[in-house]
Structure 1
């Protein structure tokens, strides 16, 4: 067996139905009396639920969280945080609010309580991606990890079928890339395979009946596992491309992950035999990249970058940006290979492994 390193991240997770009711007790446990509540502009109903559960421990509400964590938004939230003299952060919603909480934590050191309502997984990671001047920059720091996460399955019932589908596929991407990560280990391998199997099985059930309690619970469970994978090992080609497409071209986060995943996996599959074996078992298909592409089709999720509004003329620039900073990937990369993957993803046809990279590709 290959030697490995596994580090457990310090965090309290509460998972179940109706767990939001314990928010006030959790804030009291953490010594938070004046929390700043974070949501997107559309989440007034969620904000009201959180305030009702917080036992008077919310000092202010910032409702401007946005995709890709723009620095300008963070600066506005930081000003409110100072105005209300907040001593903690409560984020309820998806990756946008979680990202904002982390960005504020980075600047203030205040503790975070995160209440996810999607399958984004960011709540389980010490990773922050911030966008400024058309570029998304990602950093990893143990201090960014939210100390407390409350998973309330009941809050996911209202997640629309489309968002359930793309958010679930986004979660699967974390687990897929964890299986061929440079710092993979047996614990994360088990979690990643379980995550993929759980989400692949339950996402169609969720789309068929968004109020299916068992499916919603299993979906959130699979997303939780995927988030742990994302937080514990490094990512590769898929996440790099998605960060470029989101940060530089403002494509929607979850939808972009949904589209790119099968093509990134098809590219890496010839160089990640063990990962492919585990994914084949989890998905019940000899070609896991095709299985994921088929799954997206069954979920009526987008399967091409063109469907997300990306012009074909933008692919060259996207490849240039992705190639600027070499990063580890199981398959050696260069600009031509990156462009080939992007062209496949733009067209939306069934994924196949692109031609080998030329000898002058990025070093792994």
Structure 2
């Protein structure tokens, strides 16, 4: 079968090196000719931000960061940027920090230098998200793509293991969603599968030894590949579900993505057996023998992801984050409106309810329980 597709690769500089953040940030500010930087970093990341911007004189420090980026917060940050004549934004932190920087860039065009301290991956996409009246809206705009990303594993050294796992699995969700998202193509599928391999390896390494800097570097490498693939492939069913859960019910971003991912995989994998088989290969622990008798590729992929989740003690149920049975109907209604028509499995009220209920209770993800009759 011949290939035919259109692939878009986003233009962005990536500066990768442990211990090099301050030099790289200064280099990028100079390259842009900027003289009035705005540093966005929450209170928890203030010291990391000072490390990353050593030698740079910020015109404005902004420390109010809220997940899912409320519209009111974005407007306040935009007004402050205008007041101080900001000509470059340096964001130091996770996805919420990068998201606020993007929200400012969306309406002002001010370039962003992103310095991630987690494995969220938002820094490598041109996707923005804002929340207003319990609804999270996302969009795509080249103005929000950071002009440069500075990766420094030293800045993730203090990220607690539990948060590292949730963040890394958020990155893994970018990989899995990119396999069948609306604009999925062979290039972003290849990037996604390599990203999944790197993240699976990295998370096992970080859990085994939180000071393993090679594992921390692998996590950054994997999350970047995940984000690049996601930026090209677009937002699939997994992200549509998590945007509903985050924007409407204010569930924590990384933990929600980590929790929902295995259920979406079990839901979709039977309809894409070739991709499921390749994903299973990427996810397997290279030191563990393949279990005999496994034939079904969808089951292989789900089992491989379940094995990883057990190995890293991953988040497992939405009920841990105050999501309840009574919230499921509204979530299902919103998911049905947002689900991509191109999803490998048609999303219905019944199967969406089954998926969210399983994620709520933390039942072991498996193909059989999420495979409605007639799939």
TM-score bin (small chain): over 0.9
- The answer as to whether partners of 1:129 and 1:136 remain within 8 angstroms in 2 is yes
Aligned partners of 1:307, 1:296: CA distance in 2, in Å?
Answer: 16
Any unmatched runs of 5+ in structure 2?
285-289, 291-296
- The answer as to whether partners of 2:123 and 2:149 remain within 8 angstroms in 1 is yes
Cα deviation for residue 224 of structure 1 reads 1.0
Is 1:321 the counterpart of 2:334? The answer is yes
Matches within 5 A, 1:284-363: 284=284, 287-328=300-341, 329-353=343-367, 354-356=370-372
Summarize deviations over 1:292-319 as a string: whole Å, max 9, x none: 2332232122101112221121111111
The equivalent of 1:128 in structure 2 is: 128
Summarize deviations over 1:3-28 as a string: whole Å, max 9, x none: 11112211111011122122112101
The equivalent of 2:293 in structure 1 is: none
The equivalent of 2:20 in structure 1 is: 19
- The answer as to whether partners of 1:297 and 1:303 remain within 8 angstroms in 2 is no
- The answer as to whether partners of 1:4 and 1:183 remain within 8 angstroms in 2 is no
- The answer as to whether partners of 1:182 and 1:330 remain within 8 angstroms in 2 is no
Structure 1 pair 133/262, CA: closer, same or farther in 2 (3 Å)?
same
- What SS does the aligned partner of 1:266 have? helix
Summarize deviations over 1:318-362 as a string: whole Å, max 9, x none: 111111345231111122211110011111111123243889xxx
Of the structure 1 ranges 130-139 and 347-356, higher mean CA displacement relative to structure 2 is found in: 347-356
Structure 1 pair 357/76, CA: closer, same or farther in 2 (3 Å)?
farther
Aligned partners of 2:233, 2:373: CA distance in 1, in Å?
Answer: 25
Aligned partners of 2:59, 2:360: CA distance in 1, in Å?
Answer: 45
- The answer as to whether partners of 1:188 and 1:229 remain within 8 angstroms in 2 is yes
Matches within 5 A, 1:64-103: 64-103=64-103
Aligned partners of 2:90, 2:373: CA distance in 1, in Å?
Answer: 45
The equivalent of 1:227 in structure 2 is: 227
Matches within 5 A, 1:238-317: 238-284=238-284, 287-317=300-330
The equivalent of 2:41 in structure 1 is: 39
- The answer as to whether partners of 1:332 and 1:357 remain within 8 angstroms in 2 is no
Give the TM-score normalised by the residue count of structure 1.
0.94
Aligned partners of 1:261, 1:298: CA distance in 2, in Å?
Answer: 16
Of the structure 1 ranges 159-168 and 331-340, higher mean CA displacement relative to structure 2 is found in: 331-340
Of the structure 1 ranges 241-250 and 174-183, higher mean CA displacement relative to structure 2 is found in: 174-183
- What SS does the aligned partner of 1:66 have? coil
Structure 1 pair 247/326, CA: closer, same or farther in 2 (3 Å)?
same
- The answer as to whether partners of 1:290 and 1:350 remain within 8 angstroms in 2 is no
Aligned-pair RMSD on alpha carbons? 1.6
What is the number of equivalent residue pairs in this alignment?
357
Aligned partners of 1:275, 1:327: CA distance in 2, in Å?
Answer: 18
- The answer as to whether partners of 2:22 and 2:53 remain within 8 angstroms in 1 is no
- The answer as to whether partners of 1:302 and 1:308 remain within 8 angstroms in 2 is no
Aligned partners of 2:140, 2:274: CA distance in 1, in Å?
Answer: 27
Cα deviation for residue 70 of structure 1 reads 1.0
The equivalent of 1:117 in structure 2 is: 117
Aligned partners of 1:316, 1:358: CA distance in 2, in Å?
Answer: 23
Cα deviation for residue 274 of structure 1 reads 2.1
Structure 1 pair 358/271, CA: closer, same or farther in 2 (3 Å)?
closer
